[in-house]
Amino acid sequence: MDNKRILVTSALPYANGAIHFGHLAGAYLPADMYARYQRLKGRDVLFVCGSDEHGVSILISARKEGVSPQDIIDRYHVLNMRAFDRIGMSFDNYSRTSLPVHHETAREWFVEFRDKGLLRQSIEKQLYDPEARMFLPDRFVIGTCPHCGYDRAYGDQCENCSKYYEQTELLKPKSLLSDAVPEIRDARHWHFPLGEYQERLEHYIEGHADEWKENVLQQVRSWLKSGLSDRPISRDMDWGIPVPGEEEAGKVIYVWFEAVLGYISSSKEWAERIGQPEKWKEYWCDEETRYVPFIGKDNIVFHCLMFPAMLMEKGGYVLPANVPANEFLNLEGKKFSKSTGWSIELNEFLDTYPADPLRYTLAMNMPETRDSDFFWKDFQARNNNELADILGNFVNRTVHFVHKHFDGVVPAADGLLPEDEAFLARFGEIAAQVSDCYERFRFRDAVTATMNLARAANKYFNDREPWKTIKSDRRHCANTMHCSLQALHALTVLIEPVLPFTAEKLRTLLNIDHASAGHWDAIVLHRLPAGHPVGERTILFEKIDDATMEKETAKLGVLSEGPEIVHPELKEQITIDDFMKIDLRIGNIIKAEAVPKSKKLLKLIVDIGFETRQLVAGIATTCVPEDLIGRQVVIVANLKPATLFGIESQGMILAASTEEEGPVLLAPVQAIREGAIVK
């Protein structure tokens, strides 16, 4: 790994929401640990990131809230930048893709590719909203299904008959953005011929096969196996980087082409800022640079195939040497979901808890080979049983002892015994193990090995029994404390990648600066001289009690202030006569059983007074068959029968549901005879 320079990037967070623990564990924390580690090793590291601020989702959010896209990206850029700062991300530069430097970079690449005849054009018919003045993504147009006549079908697929079609086939289309009737217009698009790079990419990937992570390789190979094809790189929209020469046409460069270039733009911005505008090239255009992009698994295809293809085509740029993508982190067994409140806001978390215990917990539970979970109880246990009890306590007992018996200064070493020497020698062994883990992107193991020094130190302290030798053999005791203090110095360096704030506290406590503790080699140098004063003990990690954790767990899934609940649009008005066509009756469920091979369907036998009906209802996700027996419900009694999973359904049972909840059965609030009419 002896490259001249190392370029580290983290996936650009999309400026349409706040980053959460999952993002952190996947792409940011490992990158930061890696960058910090490599800097300690004395390597020339550039670590950049920035906000990804274009794309249709930001535009949609802005329209929904009635603000400008700029308002949206400003909000989340500032929010995320603050969160990154508080969690200790050591970016050399944090940029944003809305800056001129990035627009210029993206345009330059686009123009160069277009001018050399690489990019292809295609023309497709697409729906255009004249009021919103944009082409409509499939999800933002609704109309009547050309197959079954269902009147709330989306642009790509009918929810009713589940058939696929082109959005232009939709009858009576309506824009969900403006309610306007869209026009069919020719949409001309630029494409990047990714398929042409198939062989070169295969060669590139297999050339790294022995070094890259298995989960990354498998995913990339599966893409390569199914064959690469052209990718569109322009879209019709008025939010983004205008396609050069077509500024008036409302055409922008598609996000996947330009966003990855944000890494380069961020590097340029950094170079400009430090007054050496050409310096970014040393990291991007020098063969001796090792480029490592950190991402989550959703980004693998971009960073392993598309971006490398672009870099190859551009020429003179380094390709990723390794793409150590992580899987996803879940929260207490479920996916993070902002809309249901199943999430923890990073900034809110950091208002209550310090950053390092979170960094430690996420690092120890990083989704390196498969999805993993964040549990509040695990966070508590890691903080209390490991950071406080093992690391914190060792620091505390050592510093306190030195103040009590040696006036708070480092005692001189005098005639160290083999046990003392053996302990000091452990520093180097552990440092080598930790190094090896970081170089191989094994962050969990790196942190475990790091803590092993604290464990070894506690054992040493116990075995040497300084509280006894202080009375019997002061020289022996002095040696013990000398070595223990050197362990504190070593720990200060060793923990820096994962616990940077604690490392800073330790430097203060030990009266040392970054010159003394800012290099990996310092771990083995035993740099605290005899007579060096150390500070009074401080609590490094406060314990967290059970009640606090129960409170935090209870907060999950409870929506805080003003959640953005989207209510489906009201349907067309009907007359009382329309409604009276529907014959609703009270029925009593007399039999209920699951439909075999179906996840959501139950077969019900319902007594509606004058006859019994067999119904197939999609309520299995919320209803247990046994509990339904004897319950009164409302059914649509005059519905034309249909067959589902080979079972005839003679009616429909009424239930309420939202996107997140339900279905919940409707029932009369007090009992009434079966067959009663509902109106």
Where do contacts with RNA occur on this chain (CB under 7 A)? 157, 159-162, 218, 334-335, 365, 367-373, 375, 378, 381, 385-386, 388-390, 392-393, 395-397, 400-401, 404, 444-445, 448, 455, 458-459, 461-463, 465-468, 539-543, 597-601, 616-618, 636, 639-642, 644-645, 649, 651-652, 663
In the complex with RNA, the residue whose CB is nearer, 288 or 419, is 419
In the complex with RNA, the residue whose CB is nearer, 142 or 253, is 142
| DSSP assignment letter at 540 | S
Residues 6+ apart with CB under 8 A from 315: none
Residue 102 to residue 48: CA distance in whole angstroms: 14
Sign of CA dihedral 294, 299, 304, 305: negative
DSSP helix/strand/coil, 44: strand
Name the minimum Å distance from CB 595 to RNA: 8
CA end-to-end distance (rounded Å), the chain? 76
In the complex with RNA, the residue whose CB is nearer, 525 or 666, is 666
DSSP 45-73: EEEEEEEB--SHHHHHHHHHHTS-HHHHH
Name the minimum Å distance from CB 646 to RNA: 10
Name the minimum Å distance from CB 372 to RNA: 4
Residue 197 to residue 309: CA distance in whole angstroms: 6
Cβ atoms of 28 and 363 within 8 Å: the answer is no
Residue 663 preceded by cis peptide, ω within 30: yes
Name the minimum Å distance from CB 381 to RNA: 4
DSSP 381-420: HIIIIIIIIIIIHHHHHHHHHHHHHSTTBPPPP-S--HHH
In the complex with RNA, the residue whose CB is nearer, 248 or 626, is 626
In the complex with RNA, the residue whose CB is nearer, 264 or 506, is 506
DSSP helix/strand/coil, 488: helix
In the complex with RNA, the residue whose CB is nearer, 290 or 397, is 397
Residue 517 to residue 535: CA distance in whole angstroms: 16
Name the minimum Å distance from CB 557 to RNA: 14
Give the residue carrying structure tokens 């990690």: 541
Q: What are the two backbone dihedrals, phi and then psi, of residue 632, each rounded to the nearest 5 degrees?
A: -90, 135
In the complex with RNA, the residue whose CB is nearer, 335 or 555, is 335
Long-range interactions of 536-540: CB distance < 8 A, separation 24+: 536/399, 536/403, 536/408, 537/395, 537/396, 537/399, 537/400, 537/403, 537/509, 538/505, 538/509, 539/392, 539/396, 540/387, 540/388, 540/391, 540/392, 540/395, 540/396, 540/502, 540/505, 540/506
| DSSP assignment letter at 543 | -
DSSP helix/strand/coil, 677: strand
What kind and span of H or E run contains 492?
Answer: helix 474-494
In the complex with RNA, the residue whose CB is nearer, 252 or 608, is 608
Structure tokens at 97: 């893709």
In the complex with RNA, the residue whose CB is nearer, 409 or 639, is 639
Name the minimum Å distance from CB 266 to RNA: 31
Name the minimum Å distance from CB 528 to RNA: 18
Name the minimum Å distance from CB 345 to RNA: 21
The alpha helices in 140-287, defined as continuous H runs, are 198-206, 214-226, 255-259, 262-273, 280-284
Sign of CA dihedral 573, 576, 579, 581: negative
Name the minimum Å distance from CB 482 to RNA: 15
In the complex with RNA, the residue whose CB is nearer, 120 or 336, is 336
In the complex with RNA, the residue whose CB is nearer, 310 or 325, is 325
Name the minimum Å distance from CB 228 to RNA: 17
Residue 533 preceded by cis peptide, ω within 30: no
In the complex with RNA, the residue whose CB is nearer, 156 or 272, is 156
Closest C-alpha to 386, from 549, 544, 551, 550: 544
Cβ atoms of 271 and 166 within 8 Å: the answer is no
In the complex with RNA, the residue whose CB is nearer, 288 or 298, is 298
Structure tokens at 238: 């008025």
In the complex with RNA, the residue whose CB is nearer, 179 or 593, is 593
Name the minimum Å distance from CB 458 to RNA: 3
Name the minimum Å distance from CB 367 to RNA: 7
Name the minimum Å distance from CB 26 to RNA: 13
Name the minimum Å distance from CB 531 to RNA: 21
Closest C-alpha to 496, from 159, 12, 34, 161: 34
Q: Where are the beta strands (DSSP E) in 395-483?
A: none
Residues 6+ apart with CB under 8 A from 611: none
Name the minimum Å distance from CB 298 to RNA: 11
Cβ atoms of 292 and 322 within 8 Å: the answer is yes
Cβ atoms of 177 and 139 within 8 Å: the answer is no
What kind and span of H or E run contains 175?
Answer: strand 171-175
In the complex with RNA, the residue whose CB is nearer, 239 or 374, is 374
Name the minimum Å distance from CB 118 to RNA: 32
In the complex with RNA, the residue whose CB is nearer, 152 or 191, is 152
Angle at CA of residue 294, ends 292 and 299, nearest 5°: 120
Residue 283 to residue 262: CA distance in whole angstroms: 14
Give the residue carrying structure tokens 């720990």: 491
Residue 92 to residue 159: CA distance in whole angstroms: 48
